[in-house]
Amino acid sequence: MSIVVTGATGHLGRLVVEGLLEKVPADQITAVVRDAGKAAGLADRGVRLHVADYNRPETLTGAFAAGDKVLLISGSEIGQRGPQHQAVIDAAKEAGVALLAYTSVLGGPAADFTLADEHKVTERAITDSGLPYVLLRNGWYNENYTENLAPVLEHGAVVGAAGEGRVASASRADYAAAAVAVLTGEGHEGKVYELSGDTAWSFAEYADVVAAQSGKKIVYRVVSTEEVRAILTGSGMPEPVAAILSDVEAAIERGRLAATPGDLSRLIGRPTTPIADSVAAALKG
């Protein structure tokens, strides 16, 4: 019996595995990765590796065993995730796992923006599978913003189309800690957690935080979703992905990522990480 984490070499997956290593012996953890080379450090520490690609369902054979607790970390290839996640769910069902946890999107079925579509499809596939499940409906990461500070500092502006909309973000480490709590705790079967930061901030407030910490003048410049799209494609992003991300900005303006139900801080037993702390960490490098 193992705790299995897919996407274990990703940003979130690495944090989850680190958190698990603090709580359970390494030989009870399996990291599902598509590139064993990226996971060499984990193997050295005694974590079991299974190499699989969501696009090749046959590679998932043997990834899971009866009684395992599995964390399916949603994939990063937007537009391909429906069948990819279905392949993982099928393999988990075939193996008879004890729990399938999934990193979904804040709001679940109520999330009315395109990026949420594949999460909604995956949630339905999980509930249809009949497997014991837990849905970790993750809100936005602080790092979505703080990993993109360079252009903000260069242009003296936070540019976006979210208007006065607010974001209840938390750090990736907070969401990872929630996953660890669920995977190592009891009584989470059938639960749906709406995970988000304790405080929702506006982009004008975010600009003020960056200004205060960097010592530079930073304004919030509101543009249209079309302009956001043009900026993103101009930086090399494929048009369909740029369209989906600019659509998220409109959803933020409608308040779709602002909910603060407190599930995340309750699960991790501490307050979530304020955006200002993540800005400070990012500025320190």
Ligand X SMILES: NC(=O)c1ccc[n+]([C@@H]2O[C@H](COP(=O)([O-])OP(=O)(O)OC[C@H]3O[C@@H](n4cnc5c(N)ncnc54)[C@H](OP(=O)(O)O)[C@@H]3O)[C@@H](O)[C@H]2O)c1
Residues making contact with ligand X (CB under 6 A): 7, 9-13, 34-35, 38, 53-55, 73-77, 84, 103, 138, 140-141, 144
> Hey, what are 38's tokens?
């990226």
Under 8 Å CB-to-CB from 91, ≥6 apart: which residues? 57, 60, 61, 63, 64
For ligand X, give the closer residue by CB, 124 or 216.
Answer: 124
Shortest reach from residue 124's CB to ligand X, in Å? 17
Taking the CA atoms of the chain, what radius of gyration do you get in angstroms? 19
Shortest reach from residue 102's CB to ligand X, in Å? 10
Structure-token match 């960056």, residue found: 210
Query: What residue number has its CB nearest to ligand X?
Result: 10
Query: What would the 3-class secondary structure string for 208-246 be?
Result: HHHHHHHCCCCEEEECCHHHHHHHHHHCCCCHHHHHHHH
C-beta separation of 114 from 247 below 8 A:
yes
Shortest reach from residue 78's CB to ligand X, in Å? 8
Shortest reach from residue 204's CB to ligand X, in Å? 20
For ligand X, give the closer residue by CB, 147 or 216.
Answer: 147
For ligand X, give the closer residue by CB, 30 or 84.
Answer: 84
Shortest reach from residue 217's CB to ligand X, in Å? 28
For ligand X, give the closer residue by CB, 79 or 185.
Answer: 79
For ligand X, give the closer residue by CB, 140 or 203.
Answer: 140
Whole-angstrom distance, CA of residue 200 vs CA of residue 252: 11
